Structure 1
Amino acid sequence: MISLFWLKLKNDRIAIFCLLLLGIVVICGIFAPYIAPHDPTLTAVRNKFQGISLLYPLGTDNLGRCIFSRLLFGIRTTVFYGMLAMSITVLIGGVIGVIAGYFRGTIDDILMRICDVALSFPGEVMIFALVGVMGPGIGNILLAIILVKWTWYARMIRGVVMQYSNKDYVNYSRIIAAPPAHIMRKHLLPVTAAEVIILASTDIGSVILMISALSFLGLGVQPPSPEWGSMLSEAKNVMLLHPEQMLPAGVAIVVVVASFNFIGDFLRDVFDPAYHIRNKE
């Protein structure tokens, strides 16, 4: 599988470009304090709406803050928090899905009924409702995303585990009295990796959009902390006089989300070759 990944990657220039781009974004986010030329929260009203220059690579906003510095630090609140939310979601959904698919019976019925209730509501509406109840803040956004999205992964992983739980090597492990935790960790979790990677790599784009949308509405990261959605919200107030203020954060969101989606499509090609066979048919 690893060799197939590298073989397809070498022949897919878009995937290579997206991986390099996301790698640069992550590195810039990690080293933002060393790369940013200014404090992202430092205001200087006399310098507001400065144009592009060596001192301000992307100009300044309505409070005289360096847009480039805020864009760099915004990677941490927008992209990194999105990746954190997806990691926790996959972990919780994976554990619950494996347990439900392996033990079945009453445990499976209880867990799947919980999933049915959660999945009966539109995900985005539920996230907005939970954030509205819990109050604004990035912590509440992450909690709402995790509470809503884990059910998708739990149900998907449960289906894969049920498909493989009666394989000969799993039955042999039961016969030799291998602990259930060992069977789930060694035999069942690995077979779910492909489906989880494909779904998570595509889903992270929607999580980033959700974090940005909630911050745009004032329910996410609170000022003066930099976040791409809140930067767009501040820029919309001067959109007619200074439309260029919308570009940095807006382009950053579009590029990062599109890159994750392209990577998701590429991973689907690698781990699910039957996808293209079905499409050709």
Structure 2
Amino acid sequence: MRFFLPALLAVSLLVGACAPAVGPGRLAAQALPTHEELEALPQLMGVLSADLTVEGAVVLADDLLVPVGVTLVLRPGTTVYVVPTHSTKIEPEWLSAGTELLVRGSLRSEGTAARPVTFVPLPLAGLGDYVWAGLLLDGASESLIRHTRIEGAEQGILCVASSPEIFGNHIVGCRYGIVAQAGSNPAIRANLIEKGEAGVFCWRGSHPLIENNRIVDHNEEGVFVDQSSAPRLADNHIANNRIGLAVYPEGPRAAADQARDNEQDLRLLGVPGGRP
């Protein structure tokens, strides 16, 4: 049975776990719940009307909006089963046609190394590799994403005018691992970002701290920086990507020593032989 979370109960919801979480550095190996087990879990969707704390197993059954002034907390060990959608919705409230967790208030994904928060996308035939939209922070405030495993999203974490703490996460098999745009300055530290199309993108005047991350095994760029952005890169391991670091000549070229063993370690954009 599907149901909306009652507004009067939305301050704190504690749910018993259905399956063990998967820690950073491991691929999802647990058996998925049956259809009946999924239907019995709390179904997250719609617009939160009050602060919500979740622990255990829940289902992201459709788009969920955390509006301004509202906080969603995911406690250690939480497993979020994501129901993908074939939707082509164009409503202005949402940023993506896929199932999304859209945050305009505050998100606190509070996993630990021993008990990470895990987003597990459910299979849906015909959707290809990227079956949901991801965690989308649009003007979000006071947010953090720690020790959280995100798989199979169009964008693992998208920051639009948002500057969350992004620490110790495992982002695997997402088209874009982390995207910072529109003046976002997140602290991106100690994450494993792997096996997608691209690792970290910096767009439109964003200045994130990108420190001590492993960014590996992407089909395109490990790190991409446009002309208007100036991230700080330190002590990253950027390897086994098609392109390690793609920057314009005035960008952070000194970070090229963090890109090793890529098909092309450094690509200068906007110059002959580079990409416009």
Pick the TM interval, shorter chain. Answer: under 0.3
Higher helix share: 1
Bigger-Rg structure (1/2): 1
TM-score normalised to the size of structure 2? 0.20
Highest relative contact order (Cα 8 Å, sep 6+), 1 or 2?
A: 1
